[in-house]
Chains A and B, each alone.
Chain A
Amino acid sequence: MPNPSEVKQKNKSNRLKYIMEFISEKLFLICALISVLSLFLIIGFVFFKGSNPFIADGYSFIDFIFGSDWIPSEDKYGIFPMIVASIYATIGALVIGVPIGLLTAIFLSEIAPKPIAKIISPAVQLLAGIPSVLYGVFGLAIIVPFLQNNLGLVKGQSLIAVILVLAIMMLPTIVTVAETAIRAVPKTYREGSLALGASPIGTIFKVVVPAAKSGIMAAIVLGLGRAIGETMAVILVAGNSLIIPTSITDSVRPLTTNIALEMGYAYGTHQEMLFATGIVLFSFILILNFVLAKISSKGGK
């Protein structure tokens, strides 16, 4: 039988514990909400600036989206060529970057002998840290002249150059995150599949990879984010021409490039229209995230 004072002591320390639990949970919640707050601030700010020309100055939003002339000094703001360029560049980079990235991630986590994986994994992480500007420098110094000389183009700055640079740039992000996800698949999955007579390769593609699906999707989203977010490297290799691309050898101007290229010099309506370009880019990304979220939740079932 414990004496009463001891019980009291215990209750007190228990209460303290509960208070601590309560406070820490709220603290964690606040931290989690900071990202929501930042997002609202950014959205609010960008939308406020970007919607002004359409609300206050009577510009047509339809003309803005579907217009093919972007001549700020003549008061013409149409971003259709840039929307097309952004979509092409993103799809192209995905088509090249995702398969290579995933194959590398699977290789590193499942196939590679340990010593090899131990060298390559950190090396790939290093690739993620290389500043985008250097990819641009590399693209301008190597990829652009290569395309120019070997494909017989009059200019190497082109959609294909953008796609290559973006694909290279999203690789490390995809590899690193996907590798973590695949490594996290419990050993029992593999053992079970192998015990049932599946081949090691079959196990990887039919059991391990599907089990890591949500992580792999995260990898792709993060990789896409990096590719879409990069601007400086693209400026150097895109050519930034204001035409709707009809082939991968045309020079193009994606949405991000348009903002970065002209922001320094823009003022008034021109500047607000660049914010409006930001809104379009932003919606583009939200839709993308939404679609990918849908895919991964369906895959989960």
Chain B
Amino acid sequence: MRKFKDNLLLGLLWFGAFLTVAILLIIVGYIFYKGIGLINLEFIFGDYSPVGGGGIWPMIITTIYTIVISLVIATPIGILAAVYLQEYAKQGRLVRMIRFATESLTGIPSIIYGLFGAVFFVTTLAMGMSIISASLTLTIIVLPVIIRTTEEALKTVPASYREGSLALGSTKLQTLYKVILPSAMPGILSGIILSMGRIIGESAAIFLTAGTVAAMPEGIFSSARTLTVHSYLVTQESGDIELAAAIGIVLIVMILALNFAATFISKKLNKADY
């Protein structure tokens, strides 16, 4: 009986994993099948043309801008915040409030971030519809993701590491930089990757803060259109699923490249660690 139950549960585990993988393959497969016909150098590196048949290079550049700016701001803040929560804070009302705030931020629909950004950054701070407005909005969006995953990663660092380091006479700060953060690095990196995914995937918030100008941005104060917003507009307004899928391929390849880079870095760091 127990054997049977075990086998049943084991079967369920295999089934669940199989289903997840199958869904991934179907979605990615479909996008590639639909969009691959449009992919060529001209499409990727060509300038956008409103008449049709142009490239998506301006959108790629815009996307890279938003990723870099928001991560440069969100990553240090997020990691330090998580360090405070995990390593410094006494578990009191303040910490509960901060935790509650981060968790609540996670749940806010991106369209509300977009509304907030559109009034706060675009109008109140007079940044206008621009890459910088969108990036700052995105910073708030990914902050809780980074905090949360960094916290989980810090939790996995065994207490003995901290105790050992402190016992050897290191200060808390030294322990943090030399022992805790390095060993939590792979977890932190996975948080950053999740954030990149979120930034690349965001459309509603960017739509309202960066605008939809389909041209090469002149700088971070210009209005521009990211890849995702482009694929959204293409689907919404021209119903062109093949073009949307082709943009999807570019997005997936970008994410793939980021993942490889991050895994590579985290491996290097791990090797250095031991």
Quick one: which of B229-268 are within 8 Å of A by CB? 231-232, 235, 241, 244-245, 248, 251-252, 255-256, 258-259, 263
The answer to the question of A249 belonging to the interface, with a C-beta cut-off of 8 Å to chain B, is no
Given A31-B84, A122-B263, check contact A36 B190 (CB 8 Å).
no
Whether B17 contacts A168 by the Cβ 8 Å rule is no
What are 12 A-B pairs with beta-carbon distances under 8 A?
A35-B147, A36-B97, A39-B104, A101-B16, A110-B13, A122-B263, A131-B200, A134-B231, A135-B27, A175-B20, A201-B5, A282-B108
User: Which secondary structure dominates chain B's binding surface?
Assistant: helix
The answer to the question of B217 belonging to the interface, with a C-beta cut-off of 8 Å to chain A, is no
Partner of B77, one of A24, A34, A140, A293: A34
Interfacial residues, chain B to chain A (CB-CB below 8 A): 2, 5-6, 9-10, 12-17, 19-21, 23-24, 26-28, 30-31, 34, 76-78, 80-81, 83-85, 88-89, 97-98, 100-113, 115-116, 119-120, 140, 143-145, 147-149, 152-153, 155-156, 171-173, 187, 190, 193-194, 196-197, 200-204, 208, 228, 231-232, 235, 241, 244-245, 248, 251-252, 255-256, 258-259, 263
B110 surroundings in chain A (CB, below 8 A): 229-231
Whether B10 contacts A201 by the Cβ 8 Å rule is yes
Interfacial residues, chain A to chain B (CB-CB below 8 A): 17, 20-21, 24-25, 27-29, 31-36, 38-39, 41-42, 45-46, 99-104, 106-108, 110-112, 120, 122-138, 140-142, 168, 171, 173, 175-177, 180-181, 183-184, 199-202, 204-205, 215, 218, 221-222, 224-225, 228-232, 236, 256, 259-260, 263, 275, 278, 281-282, 285-286, 288-289, 293
**Min CB distance, A276 to chain B, in Å?**
12
B244 surroundings in chain A (CB, below 8 A): 133-134, 137
A24 surroundings in chain B (CB, below 8 A): 173
A36 surroundings in chain B (CB, below 8 A): 97-98, 101
Whether A222 contacts B106 by the Cβ 8 Å rule is yes
Give the docked Cα–Cα distance between A228 and B107 (Å). 7
Whether A45 contacts B119 by the Cβ 8 Å rule is yes
Give the docked Cα–Cα distance between A101 and B16 (Å). 7
Give the docked Cα–Cα distance between A109 and B78 (Å). 27
Which of A29, A134, A183 counts the most chain B CB atoms within 10 A?
A134
Partner of A180, one of B2, B81, B187: B187
Partner of A231, one of B21, B101, B109: B109
Whether A39 contacts B105 by the Cβ 8 Å rule is yes
| Least CB separation from B2: chain A residue | A199
Whether A38 contacts B105 by the Cβ 8 Å rule is yes
Identify 15 new A-B residue pairs, CB closer than 8 A, beyond the known A42-B113, A289-B100: A21-B173, A31-B77, A32-B98, A33-B98, A46-B112, A106-B13, A108-B17, A111-B13, A126-B259, A141-B34, A201-B6, A218-B148, A263-B111, A278-B115, A285-B108
